[in-house]
Structure 1
Amino acid sequence: MKAEKDKVVSIVYELEVDDGENGKEFYERVDKSQPFAFLFGANNILPKLEEAIEGKAVGDTFEVFIDFENGYGDYEENKKVYVSKSAFKENGKKNLELLKVGKVVTMEDDKGNPMRGEILKIDYKGVLMDFNFPLAGYDLYFKGEVIDIRDAEQEEIDHGHVHGPGGHAH
């Protein structure tokens, strides 16, 4: 079986990143104890990574360089914004667990879409948050192996993503 549209592909990999200033640095390892599974052809991974895996079989390896423009884009200073401290209230009280520098929280934009933001600073102006993707501005170097391929279930195809063992509830 080959990695192609409507197949669930499981991979292991090592990812190194390069910000253009400090050279390559180790970022992440996904190993066989918890492989990364995705629905091929459903736009669930970076297109260049999917291209590198396309047509591979179980046991095949891959290596791919993805520049920042084809990865997560450039780092944008305008995605660092102040948010009112009142946005961190639950039941009318400040949620002190959320208000910590370095904490990553999910917020919503004005259309209700989820946005991941990291708290950079808390001061009299409010909470300075960075809404850039963590790997924005980095070139990516993936090296990995395909460890499993299976036919996707119709429900996975309909939903556009992989379901874990025992199914998936929305």
Structure 2
Amino acid sequence: MVAVDYTLTVDGKIADRSRPGQPLEFIFGTGMLLPKFEAAIVGKEPGEKVSFTLAPADGYGEIVDDAIVDLPKTIFMVDGKLAEDILFVGSQIPMANAQGQRMLGVVKEIGDDTVKMDFNHPMAGKTLNFDVEVISVRDVTPEDLAGKCGCGECSCGDDCHCEGESHADCGCHGCH
């Protein structure tokens, strides 16, 4: 079980960070974090700091043009009215694909008849810059396994769509 304080900088701006006094805890080697993130901290002891950069291919991948689609505006109708409370540029909307798999899409553009949605991971195509301090390293306990199973499975069951990314990042609500 590893606990780290971290700051993630993307495009020169802080994109994410651990909260003071609340380090990110994870079971090392279970796929809960990006593999290259774990590789960068392997062997580090509490108090050690490391800074590293992950190229898009080692982070959340490159932007896939096929994951940006125009959808009919009518699918955003609720009781005959456009769901304007969720339908605005930048809004993240959970949806399901034709196979029923859950996906998170970001509204990029709203046209007269269509809505351009981007189903790429929000960090796809981005270079990730991490500053990490290892806070603690200890053996995993049965209690850790009960709370953060680290089993690599998720609540989606056989319909998991996480495709190698952390379940915390894919939006499927984590493990079963």
- C-alpha distance in 2 between matches for 1:34 and 1:111: 38
Matches within 5 A, 1:49-64: 49-64=37-52
- C-alpha distance in 2 between matches for 1:85 and 1:146: 47
TM-score (norm 2): 0.72
Match of 2:170 in 1: none
SS at match of 2:45: coil
- 10, 20, 23: which one pairs with 2:3? 10
Contact persistence 2:47–2:133 (CA under 8 A)? yes
Work out whether 1:31 is the aligned partner of 2:19.
yes
Contact persistence 1:39–1:160 (CA under 8 A)? no
Match of 2:149 in 1: 157
Q: How many residues align?
A: 152
What displacement does 1:88 show?
A: 2.4
Contact persistence 1:72–1:133 (CA under 8 A)? yes
Match of 1:85 in 2: 73
What displacement does 1:50 show?
A: 0.6
TM-score (norm 1): 0.74
SS at match of 1:157: coil
- C-alpha distance in 2 between matches for 1:46 and 1:158: 13
Contact persistence 1:80–1:131 (CA under 8 A)? yes
SS at match of 1:56: coil
Work out whether 1:118 is the aligned partner of 2:118.
no
- Point out the structure with the larger strand share: 1
The verdict on how the C-alpha distance between 1:87 and 1:34 changes in structure 2, with shifts beyond 3 A counting, is: farther
Contact persistence 2:150–2:175 (CA under 8 A)? no
Match of 1:147 in 2: 135
Q: For each residue in 1:65-117, what CA deviation from the matched residue of structure 2 results, as whole angstroms up to 9, or x when unmatched? A: 21111111112222211122233244565322111111111111222222111
Name the amino acid aligned to 1:120.
K
Q: Which runs of 5+ in 1 are unaligned?
A: 1-6, 19-23, 162-167
Match of 2:30 in 1: 42
Contact persistence 1:105–1:117 (CA under 8 A)? yes
Indicate the percent of aligned positions where both proteins have the same amino acid: 34
What displacement does 1:160 show?
A: 4.1
Name the amino acid aligned to 2:116.
L
What displacement does 1:51 show?
A: 0.7
- C-alpha distance in 1 between matches for 2:119 and 2:13: 22
Q: Which runs of 5+ in 2 are unaligned?
A: 154-173
Contact persistence 1:82–1:125 (CA under 8 A)? no
Work out whether 1:74 is the aligned partner of 2:62.
yes
What displacement does 1:49 show?
A: 0.3
